[in-house]
A and B are shown apart, each in its own frame.
With several copies, the nearest count.
Chain A
C-alpha cells in the first residue's frame, strides 16, 4: 500500500443534535474522503443514534444530516462498523438504521482499531 495512504478511523460516540460533534465529524469525514485515504467509520455508544431512521429536525430548527451518512458510499467510504452491544442496549436493531453497516463485536472493532494509523473520536 502506498506510504501516503493512511488508515484513518473515525469513531462516532455522541448522539446527534444535542451537540455538534457528530455533524462536524461527518464534515471531516467527507473532506478526508476526497484525499483517498483508507477511511473507516465506527459507531459506538450513543454514536449509533446518528444512523437512526426517521430523524426530522424541523421542530428544533436545525439542519438534519442523517441522510448524509447514506451518501458516504458515493465517496468510497464503505467501511461502516456498528458495535453490536451499543445497538442492543439501546433497544435498536439493524432495521432501525438508515444505512447498511457491518454489525461487529466490540473485540473485532477493537482489532481493527489497532491496525489504524490514526483514530479520531467525535
Chain B
C-alpha cells in the first residue's frame, strides 16, 4: 500500500500519524507541501531516516522544485508525476490528507 503525505510536517500531524500506521515495506510518497519533510537538515530528518529503515521514501520532484528544495535527505528518491503513476499501478493508495 502506497502512502501519500501532502502537508508540511511543521503544520500538520499527518506525517507523524502516517508513520505510526505504515506497514514495513510500504512505500511513502511526499507531495505538495509534504515535501518539506525531506529537506535535508530540518527537524524531521531523524524521523525520515528512521522511516527509511523499513520503507522506501519518495518525493514528487516538481513539488521539490516549486519550493526550492535542492538538498533532500539521503536516499529519498525524487520522482515525477509518471513515477507517481507507476507507484499507483503497483499499489493500492492511502492518502493521508
Interface residues in A92-116 (C-beta closer than 8 Å to B): 106-107, 109-111, 113-114, 116
> Chain B's nearest CB lies how many Å from the CB of A44?
6
CA of A19 to CA of B67 in the docked complex: distance in angstroms?
12
Contact check, B92 vs A119: say whether CB atoms are below 8 A apart. Answer: yes
Contact check, A119 vs B93: say whether CB atoms are below 8 A apart. Answer: yes
> Chain B's nearest CB lies how many Å from the CB of A108?
9
CA of A89 to CA of B36 in the docked complex: distance in angstroms?
12
Mask, B16-43, CB within 8 Å of A = 1, is 0100111100100000110010011111
CA of A16 to CA of B2 in the docked complex: distance in angstroms?
25
> Chain B's nearest CB lies how many Å from the CB of A84?
11
> Chain B's nearest CB lies how many Å from the CB of A63?
11
Which residue, A13, A85, A89, A110, has most C-beta atoms of chain B within 10 A?
A110
How many chain A residues touch B (CB < 8 A): the figure is 39
Task: Closest B residue to A85 by CB, please name it.
Answer: B20
Residue A74 CB within 8 A of the other chain: no
Contact check, A91 vs B62: say whether CB atoms are below 8 A apart. Answer: no
Which residue, B11, B62, B69, B94, has most C-beta atoms of chain A within 10 A?
B94
Task: List the A side residues contacting B63 at CB < 8 Å.
Answer: 17, 59-60
A13: contacting residue among B41, B42, B45, B97, CB under 8 A: B97
CA of A113 to CA of B92 in the docked complex: distance in angstroms?
10
Can you list 20 contacts pairing A with B, beta carbon distance less than 8 Å? A15-B36, A17-B33, A17-B66, A17-B67, A44-B21, A45-B17, A46-B33, A49-B36, A52-B67, A56-B65, A56-B66, A58-B62, A91-B40, A91-B45, A106-B20, A110-B20, A114-B23, A116-B92, A119-B1, A121-B97
Contact check, B36 vs A110: say whether CB atoms are below 8 A apart. Answer: no
CA of A62 to CA of B18 in the docked complex: distance in angstroms?
28
Contact check, B23 vs A55: say whether CB atoms are below 8 A apart. Answer: no
Task: List the B side residues contacting A14 at CB < 8 Å.
Answer: 11
- The 5 A-B pairs at the shortest CB distance, nearest first, are namely A59-B62, A18-B33, A91-B41, A110-B21, A91-B42
